[in-house]
Every structure is written in structure tokens, then in C-alpha cells.
Amino acid sequence: MPVLVRPIADDLQSSPTMENLPENSTSSEETLPPVDKTVKPKPGLRLELRGSGNYYKGILHIGSTFIPISDDILEELQTKTALSPDGFFRLFVEKVGYSSYLTEQIHQEVKNAGNLNAQMSAIQQILRQGLPS
């Protein structure tokens, strides 16, 4: 069966150019506003518990910053989940905020997000559920 081959030049001559596009077609003159593709972190503190096989089983999310939490600190925090949210927050900052900068960041993030009780209650609940296996 013979194969028909058309030269590339024929395709170029038959394809529309900017000058001969219909008036209702889209051209490069019309620009759309740029799309913001940045991921905006949720405000507040979030605790991520990871299963065994990970070097750190706990990761604290402070905005877009990730802070690893050692296993011994996680275990201690798990034993203190019965504290009030305020009391737990003081202990949490003492254990997790190992530098003055980090302590300031934790306080600022809680302030920005508001509702300390809701944030600490959520972290306490995650710790009560235990580490995934």
C-alpha cells in the first residue's frame, strides 16, 4: 500500500498566521491575569504524627516551617494530654521550643491564628490517638 507524504512546506502555507485568524479567535493581544500558584499554609500550629520507619515520628508545622519532634518529647507530651489547653501549651512550648527564636515563632503563630484552646485541644487529641504504626 503506497504511503502519501506531504511536504512540510505545504503544512506551513495552509496553517493560519496571526494576520489571517478570524476576528473571534484568541490572539496574543488578549492576556489573562497571572495565576497565583503559591501554596499558602494554614495559620496555626499543626502536629503531624508519622509511623515507624521515619527518623522523626512527629513533625510540628508552624506556618510553612517544619520542626521535627524527638520520640522522647512526643512520649512525654502524650502522658500530659489531660492538662488544660493553657497548661499543655506552656509545657508544649517548653519541650518543643528549644530556642528563643522557635519559642517566639510558636507564640506568634498561635497569636496569628487565634483560639489557643482549639489549637491545643487538637494537638492533645492527636497525641491521645497515638503514633501510627
Residues 11-52 have pLDDT tens digits of 445 554 555 555 555 555 567 777 665 556 677 899 999 877
C-alpha 58: how far from chain center:
15
Q: How far apart are CA 25 and CA 18, in angstroms?
A: 10
Q: Which residue is listed with cell 515520628?
A: 57
Q: What share of the chain is helix, strand, coil (3-state, %, to 5)?
A: 45, 10, 45
117 or 20: whose pLDDT is higher? Answer: 117
What are phi and psi for residue 107, nearest 5 degrees? -60, -45
1-5, 34-38, 124-128 — which is least confidently predicted? 1-5
Whether pTM exceeds 0.85: no
**pLDDT tops 70 at residue 6:** no
First vs last Cα of the chain: how many Å apart?
63
131 or 64: whose pLDDT is higher? Answer: 64
Q: Which residue is listed with cell 493560519?
A: 16
